Amino acid sequence: MIEIVEAKSQDFSAVKEIAYKTWPDTYGTILTKQQLDYMLDLFYSEEALRKNASEKGHLFFLAKDHDLAVAFVSIEHNYQQQSITRIHKIYILPETQGQGIGKLLIEKVEFLANEAKSEKLSLNVNRHNAALFFYKKNGFEIVGEEDIPLGHGYLMEDYIMEKPLT
């Protein structure tokens, strides 16, 4: 049975481990190994995760299967001072994908967003990421495109997706 719990700073090592196991499978055909390593270090060092939580107000949640962390999501309410809950990160271990864990995480985010009186959910997804289908299946629509420079000549080429809340 999957349990979703709020992650604390001591859980960031589990978040990092999930990212490091998931990214090569998710982005291995999209990004070079050098870009993959650079982005993992940039986004998933425990220092970067702590900074996101303490300075940017990101909330992290772990999906656990019998106390084993198998997925995580990070969100931010009132994104850009608007009535939006932003999903910054959501990753499920490759060996547990397709079991409904991602859907459970989205449902948890929707519940929290409704509690925060958000009008919609928002996220970015790489334009070549297979997860695009997952988001569409869960009610998200593409509302724009965004290219985000990361330094060292790297660029995130994303779709902006939103889901209205009722």
**Least confident range of 6-10, 18-22, 42-46, 152-156:** 152-156
Distance between CA 53 and CA 109 in Å, rounded? 16
| pLDDT for residue 6 | 97
Per-domain residue ranges for the chain? 2-117
Determine which helix (DSSP H) or strand (DSSP E) holds 121, and give its type and residue range.
strand 120-126
pLDDT at 128: 92
Digit-coded pLDDT (tens) for 42-91 = 999 999 999 999 999 999 999 999 999 999 999 999 999 999 999 999 99
Residue 73, pLDDT score: 98
Whether the CB-CB separation of 23 and 42 falls below 8 Å is answered with no
- Which structure tokens are listed for 37? 């390593």
Q: What is the pLDDT of residues 145-158, one digit of tens each?
A: 999 998 888 889 99
With 0-12 CB in 10 A as exposed, 13-18 as middle and 19+ as buried, what is 52? buried
The residues with which 61 forms a beta bridge, in sequence order, are 6, 73
CATH superfamily label, 2-117: Gcn5-related N-acetyltransferase (GNAT) (3.40.630.30)
pLDDT at 154: 87
- The reported pLDDT for the residue numbered 111 is 98
Whether residue 124 contacts residue 74, with contact meaning beta carbons closer than 8 Å, is answered with: no
Q: Where are the alpha helices (DSSP H) in the chain?
A: 12-27, 33-44, 46-56, 101-115, 131-137
What's residue 16's pLDDT? 97
